[in-house]
Amino acid sequence: MPASDIPIIDFATCGLENEDCTHDELSTLGKSLVQAFSDVGFVYLRNCGIDDDFVQKANRITGQFFASPVCEKERYNKKPGKNFGYMGIETERPNPKLPSDYKELFNAGGEAFYRTKQEWPDDIAPGFSEVMLDFMKRSKELSLRILHALAIGMDLKDEKFFHKCHSDMNTMETFTTGRSLYYPPITKKLKPDQQRFTEHSDYTSISLVFQDSVGGLQVQRVDGEYVDATPVVGTVLVNIGNTMQFWTKGKLKSTKHRVVVPDNEHQLKTVRRSLAYFVHPNNDAYINQPLMYKDESLNAAETVSQEDLITSKEYLLDTMRAVWEDRA
């Protein structure tokens, strides 16, 4: 068991390569996921169908881009209002009260599938667009399986409910985003409280993180203490985000996490890599209507009136705005 007490669940029976997964197997998996996400908010999934060889290939190809001169990378800067492109060191700031993160990244939202080859940095890193789009396609399929298992594990009346509400992944109708992350060697004195990735909780339904062996990711326990989310070979780390916590009225927990600055010389000089897939519901999905469970009937008093319904898009934008106003 990892130091952070994050459960490891074997996804082999219901993974991407198994089309014969039975309902009983999905139910067992789903209940295990619900338990983990209720207690910790994080889980390692083994045998998820996206193997280490593919992750290493993706990191190798995208790594050619990150190793390029800054002036070359900045030709592909993310433009305001868009969800596609490069963000350099100290350009992302999850917590307005803390310094910007010491990391680089390339975001690929749904609009990535509508970009021309010339808009991708394939001239710097041949195969960049191909590997990122492949990663997003695989991650969508994996995410839908996880969400399906979650709905079954939660005993929802409509076992495809979460699946349906996330069907627009990898389109312009959702904020779902694929991301390649690059944490460069730290060769200078950082600002006080600066981290590689500042403490935050995700805005998502669920997030998938494929981390390398370097380490540095930490998860906050219920008692407030941070513990290492030690890399586990052959797994993807999955966590609940704020949207799913709100949607399930706190049954599933969104847990704070961060990537800390290493405390030894060797790791300070070592590049850290990860791939992430941030899953959001369809923009028009209502997320404050009470969930329907098999053993319950929904009373009229429990329903939310049409004018009070909140869409996924509205919730995300309002939450982000509130975070910045609260921390400013």
| Token output for 169 | 């992944």
pLDDT tens, position by position, 277-312: 999 999 999 999 999 999 876 655 578 888 999 999
Lookup: tokens for 104: 């680089």
The C-alpha angle 284, 322, 307, rounded to 5 degrees, equals 40
Tens digit of pLDDT for each residue in 163-200? Answer: 999 999 999 999 999 999 999 999 888 999 999 999 99
Cβ atoms of 60 and 78 within 8 Å: the answer is no
When the candidates are 3.40.30.10, 3.40.50.300, 2.60.120.330, 1.10.287.130, the CATH number that belongs to 8-327 is 2.60.120.330
Local confidence band at 97 (pLDDT 50, 70, 90 cut-offs): confident
| Amino acid, single-letter form, for residue 304 | V
Domain ranges of the chain: 8-327
Q: Kindly report each contact of residues 222-225 with a partner whose C-beta sits within 8 Å and lies 24 or more positions away, as own/partner.
A: none
Q: What are 256's two structure tokens? A: 């704070």
| Percentage of the residues of the chain whose pLDDT score is greater than 90 | 80
Q: What is the pTM of this model?
A: 0.94
